[in-house]
Amino acid sequence: MNAFWLKITSNRFYKRLLKEPFTYVTGAVLLAVFAIAHLAVFSKGWGVTSAFADWGAWMYKLVGGNVDNWAYFSSEKAQKTLSGGFMNDGGSIRNLGIILGAFLATLFASEFKLKKIKSKKQIVAAALGGLLMGYGARLANGCNIGALFTSISSLSLSGWIFWLFLFGGAFIGSKLLAKYFM
Amino acid sequence: MAEFTLDCLGEACPVPLMRTEKKMAELSVGDVLVVSIDHSCAMKNVPEWARKQGHNVEIEEIDDGEWEVVIEKTK
Amino acid sequence: MGQTAGPATKSTRTRAPRKPKKSQLPFALLATALVIVFGFYLNYYNDKMVVYLLFGISFGVILQRSRFCFTASMRDPCITGSTSVTRAVLIACSLATIGFTAIKYSAHMKGETIPGMENVGQISLALAIGAVLFGIGMVIAGGCASGTLMRVGEGFTMQMISLFFFVLGSLWGAHDMGWWRAHVIKDAPAVFLPDVFGWLGALLVQSLIILLLYIASVKWQEKKMGSAE
């Protein structure tokens, strides 16, 4: 049976489409097309991180916290999202879709492997990096998607300013990485 | 004409690239470096970097999601 | 570190016999079926959710298949001098700009509210600080927001940890937002380029910026790596 599957996956069209990586430019064109379609369908640009704040609020609730008097969640829209729950929140489902999409693409390429943590340094890096990204994304009202890609494409000056300072941050990050995390 | 190995299994981007860059600088012309990688992005950016530097590069998938990038130093 | 005699090419290298590869295609098909079932289940909640799921899956597949990495677009110019990903991001922005502007302009002509204006953000010190923090974080954690999600799907334990802390950081940020809004952001201006240059002017200015950045990134790589490829 394995031979049968291997025969399919070694077909040259299969390899082209599902195995060998696309070029960065192909990825860029496809991302642009889907980002435009997203705006056309939902009248809203693609974003990733605002759903993370809702996830945080739900987790906080699970451990007994309450975010109702936080200014960030005070708007009617935010309250509606929070009470609607994960399964009724488009942003959360879209993020889940990204995870599933990457998972499926890796499986179809026959390249899935659970990658374990190699050192304690990685844990520190992941935790610190995650915290910085989370806090930063809230301050800047978005991430590399919402505040950069979608924002620049929306002809917003804020996207370019975000880019400029993100570049500065990446420069500092590269130095830190080389010094402490290699 | 020596062969060296570099184990980058479990390393996340851009560590494999930075370590490869460092290691390649220590090698002499004609030496071969075999970099083991299991990071799907590194299997693209390590060979890309090496090709840009003008080295000979080959990629082999040795297991599901595990690659060996073979780089021959040319200059 | 095995020493080999003769020219060090691949053919002379000795390696351990490899175990036969196992195709993951059956698991891929099974997982696809499960995702489809999940899609129908979602439909039960709210018919828009399936569309969101489809978009998410598409973005995930595109990001994974092309290894598109916003982090690398910022980081690689510093580390190796390579700007191939940077240029891809510029191409994505330029194409999306055209489509976005078409949609916005047609809404404007019909006198409707222009869609997607949430992404025209306020320009304040908070934006700059947030961007710097985000930039440091994404390089250290080995992935930006979309990249972290994608790598969770690929099975990276490290990014699963970073996603958890990303959510925690978002909650922390949301907690402090009241203060930032009251003291830093206040009524900082949001600049929509067509309001300044007109629609055509904004497109031209934006294209010019992207073109100049593209040329700069080609030159940067030539200088750093000696090749623009």
Shortest CB distance from C22 goes to which of B2, B18, B64? B64
Q: A181 vs B38: CB contact, 8 Å cut-off?
A: no
Three-class HEC string of B24-64: HHHCCCCCEEEEEECCCCHHHHHHHHHHHCCCEEEEEEEEC
Alpha-carbon distance C76 to B46, whole Å?
11
Please give the backbone phi and psi of residue A44, each rounded to the nearest 5 degrees, phi first: -145, 140
Nearest to C118 by CA among A49, A134, A64, A126: A49
Alpha helices (H) along chain A = 2-9, 12-14, 24-42, 50-62, 76-84, 90-108, 120-139, 150-153, 157-180
DSSP C120: S
Chain C neighbours, 3+ Cβ pairs < 8 A: A, B
Task: Inform me whether the pLDDT recorded for C217 exceeds 50.
Answer: yes
Number of A/C CB contacts below 8 angstroms equals: 546
Chain A neighbours, 3+ Cβ pairs < 8 A: B, C
Amino acid at C22: K
Confidence of residue C16 (pLDDT cuts 50, 70, 90): low
Domain residue spans in chain C?
26-66, 70-117+211-229, 123-184
Q: Using alpha carbons only, what angle is made at residue A97 by residues C36 and C48, rounded to the nearest 5 degrees?
A: 75
pLDDT tens, position by position, A55-80? 999 999 999 999 988 999 999 999 99
Chain B residues lying within 8 Å of C63, measured CB to CB: none
Distances (CA, A) of C103 to A135, C51, C200: 32, 19, 14
pLDDT tens, position by position, C22-76? 889 999 999 999 999 999 999 888 889 999 999 999 999 999 999 999 999 999 9
Q: B12 vs C156: CB contact, 8 Å cut-off?
A: yes
pLDDT tens, position by position, C57-71? 999 999 999 999 999
Task: Inform me whether the pLDDT recorded for C14 exceeds 60.
Answer: no
Amino acid at B2: A
Q: B63 vs C21: CB contact, 8 Å cut-off?
A: yes
Task: Inform me whether the pLDDT recorded for A162 exceeds 80.
Answer: yes
Task: Inform me whether the pLDDT recorded for C227 exceeds 90.
Answer: no
Interchain contact B45–C (C-beta under 8 A):
yes
- pLDDT at position C128, please? 97
Q: Between β-strands B3-8 and B32-37, what pairing exists: parallel, antiparallel or unpaired?
A: parallel
Average pLDDT, stretch B25-30? 90
Average pLDDT, stretch B35-46? 90
Shortest CB distance from A45 goes to which of C118, C141, C155? C118
Task: Inform me whether the pLDDT recorded for C6 exceeds 50.
Answer: no
C36: its two tokens = 């489809």
Task: Inform me whether the pLDDT recorded for A149 exceeds 50.
Answer: yes
Burial of residue C80 (number of CB atoms within 10 Å: 0-12, 13-18, 19+)? buried
- pLDDT at position A166, please? 97
Shortest CB distance from A115 goes to which of B15, B38, B61? B38
Distances (CA, A) of C115 to A36, C106, C121, C187: 12, 10, 14, 21
Give the gap in angstroms from C-alpha A22 to the nearest C-alpha of chain B: 10
Chain C residues lying within 8 Å of B4, measured CB to CB: 1
Alpha-carbon distance B45 to A180, whole Å?
22
Catalytic residue, chosen from B1, B4, B10, B13, is: B13
Question: What percent of chain B lies above the pLDDT cut of 90?
Answer: 44
Nearest to A163 by CA among A145, A180, A175: A145
Alpha-carbon distance A93 to B65, whole Å?
27
Q: Answer for the pair A154, C123: CB distance below 8 angstroms, yes or no.
A: no
A54: its two tokens = 């809702």
Best C19, C70, C73, C76 member to test B by mutation, with max B CBs in 10 Å, is C76
Task: Inform me whether the pLDDT recorded for C176 exceeds 70.
Answer: yes
Q: B21 vs C80: CB contact, 8 Å cut-off?
A: yes
Q: Answer for the pair A166, C131: CB distance below 8 angstroms, yes or no.
A: yes
Alpha-carbon distance C12 to A75, whole Å?
68
Which chain A residue has its CA at the smallest distance from B62's CA? A111
Task: Inform me whether the pLDDT recorded for C185 exceeds 80.
Answer: yes
Amino acid at C202: A
Average pLDDT, stretch B14-41? 91
pLDDT tens, position by position, C111-148? 999 999 999 999 999 999 999 999 999 999 988 899 99
Average pLDDT, stretch C195-203? 97
N-to-C CA span, chain C? 32
Alpha-carbon distance B48 to A27, whole Å?
16
> Taking the model in full, what pTM does it have?
0.93
pLDDT tens, position by position, A87-142? 999 999 999 999 999 999 999 999 998 988 888 999 999 999 999 999 999 999 99
Number of B/C CB contacts below 8 angstroms equals: 82
Amino acid at C73: S
B13 a catalytic residue: yes
Q: B17 vs C79: CB contact, 8 Å cut-off?
A: yes
Distances (CA, A) of C17 to A43, A109, A130, A145, B62: 55, 22, 40, 44, 10
Interchain contact A122–B (C-beta under 8 A):
yes
**Mean pLDDT, chain C, integer:** 90
DSSP C118: G
